[in-house]
Structure 1
Amino acid sequence: MLKNLDSLNPFIHVTIENRILTIKIDHPEQKNALTGEMYNDIAKILDAADQSQQVNVVILQGNEQDFTAGNDLKDFMSAAQKYVGLAADATPPFVFLKAIARFSKPIIAAVRGCTIGVGVTMLFHCDMVYAHPDTEFQIPFVSLGLSVEGGTSLLFTELAGYHMAAELLLTGRKFSAEEALKCRIINQICEQPEQLALQRAQQMSQLPMTTLKIIKKQIRPEQDQIQNCIVQEAEVVAERLTSPEMIEAVMAFLQKRKPDFNQFLQS
């Protein structure tokens, strides 16, 4: 079931060693931005790992420069016609987010550099997160004319508290690893997050898989609520994709200028 996973996508490298499956996102030219194909492939890898008796724990990481710059907007807009008629949560980003949310085994993230958009959202579904001191986080949905995704409205407020979540979501500003630690998005700041993630994974690789899964379910029992939240948020995102604000944000991105949202202000 785990055969040929490394050949699914040239920008996703998969290794399995000592019951640890590592997923490495490696597309440096795009700062590891995720295409529709990459979302679908990571979801397939997670589902296969969840069913495999060879895997106790998963590590999710980027390359030496960045974790991920989030959604590849050019790819998403060019592929938009493919998604016509699909349920909102059946599009690639939400296929991935549902897969990582339902993953029943421990998953550890090691992040550095750009950690933006879905790069932050997916961390809410990881069990442990380690970050390099220079990691730059951002949840910029508001500046794209979009709403939140992936259970953010439920999980981020649960982690950070309402006021901090509101500040970061309603301004879309960048924030540091220190702030991410205060918001409880990450466990620890360290110079070598990949090494620390591997150390924790090695500890769990020696433990009984069934017990790991039971304890994870016990400490996060609200799985149905999370999945429902992801679906509901996906429906709102789908509505926002055709909004004038979203169109202006994408055009500004493609034209390398700042978006002008003043034109949409009501007098």
Structure 2
Amino acid sequence: MSDILVRDDAAIRVITMNRPDKKNALTQEMYHTVAKTLDATADDKAIRCIVIAGVPGAFTAGNDLADFMAAGSSNEKRAFGTSGGSTLLHALLRNPKPLVAAVDGVAIGIGTTMMFHCDYVVATKASTFATPFVGLGLVPEGASSLLMPRAMGHQRAFELLVMGRRIDGEAAHQAGFVNQVAAPGQAEAEALKVAAEIAKLPPEAVAISKRLMRLPPEQVAERFALEGKHFGEQMRSPEALAAFKGFLERKRA
């Protein structure tokens, strides 16, 4: 079975990350598949809303650290902007359709970053959000250093982005980046209800309103590039490589 499932429910396209044995840890192929699906949907007039979901217990555990360690150990010098993760985040940024996230379980790293590129987020009480980049010797990505403080204030963003603290669905709702808290197992069902409500609205008015509410794409893309430069440099730093190695050794122990 594919790691990415795509189905249409009337005017709603549902993209499901489906790698439950790895808690939906995203491979490069998965990143690119989701990005291509988003891009293919952008001009599809039959689709009025997109739902991005995981499986019960895992939206996504983020990027495989073994990939980070391999990239950091490589002699190739590149910014984060060349990675599959950045490709996915850019696809979210440029997509004009309303984006609804359905989170039930862990949303780690890019899983949390994605929330700030979505327009409506449903999360269950059992959900967990975390961005452990700094603890791994890395920096924020996907313009989260710009979007997260704007959405939830500098202090709360510092706690999540820099200190790496985990917060649950209720706390994320209080912080302002989760719209609705659902019962465990009900995130996708509730997200589909929201998407159906959005799909009934005049599509051009929705698209224009979304564009007006968002920061200019050029400004967000500029922060993508700045973060990507630092991310790529840090990924090759001694502190990051030591952190990756320590994490992988703890996992094996």
Query: Is TM (by shorter chain) over 0.5?
Result: yes
Displacement of 1:87 in angstroms is 5.2
CA-based RMSD of the aligned residues comes to 2.0
CA contact (8 A) 2:12 2:199 kept: yes
- Provide the aligned length of Structure 1 versus Structure 2: 250
Corresponding residue number in structure 2 for 1:231 = 225
Corresponding residue number in structure 2 for 1:157 = 149
2:237 pairs with 1:243: yes
CA contact (8 A) 1:83 1:91 kept: no
CA contact (8 A) 2:72 2:235 kept: no
The AA in structure 2 aligned to 1:200 is V
Query: Where does 1:4-19 land on structure 2 (aligned, <5 Å)?
Result: 10-19=2-11
Between the two proteins, what is the percent identity of the paired residues? 37
Corresponding residue number in structure 2 for 1:261 = none
The runs of 4+ residues in structure 1 deviating greater than 6 Å are 79-83
CA contact (8 A) 2:18 2:24 kept: yes
The AA in structure 2 aligned to 1:205 is A
Per-residue Cα deviation, 1:56-96 (whole angstroms, up to 9, x for no partner): 11000101221111111224444678993655412211111
Structure 1 CA distance, aligned partners of 2:74 and 2:237? 19
Structure 1 CA distance, aligned partners of 2:243 and 2:251? 9
Unaligned runs of 5+ in 1: 1-8, 259-267
Structure 2 CA distance, aligned partners of 1:186 and 1:83? 40
Corresponding residue number in structure 2 for 1:204 = 198
Per-residue Cα deviation, 1:5-43 (whole angstroms, up to 9, x for no partner): xxxx81100001211100001111111011111111111
The AA in structure 2 aligned to 1:226 is V
Query: Where does 1:94-173 land on structure 2 (aligned, <5 Å)?
Result: 94-173=86-165
Unaligned runs of 5+ in 2: none
The AA in structure 1 aligned to 2:130 is Q
**Larger mean Cα displacement after TM superposition, 106-115 or 49-58:** 49-58
The AA in structure 1 aligned to 2:96 is S
CA contact (8 A) 2:69 2:241 kept: no
Higher relative contact order (CA 8 A, sep 6+): 2
Question: Given the two structures, how large is their TM-score scaled by the length of structure 1?
Answer: 0.88
Question: Given the two structures, how large is their TM-score scaled by the length of structure 2?
Answer: 0.92
2:61 pairs with 1:69: yes
SS of corresponding position for 2:101: strand
Displacement of 1:223 in angstroms is 1.8
SS of corresponding position for 1:55: coil
Corresponding residue number in structure 2 for 1:36 = 28
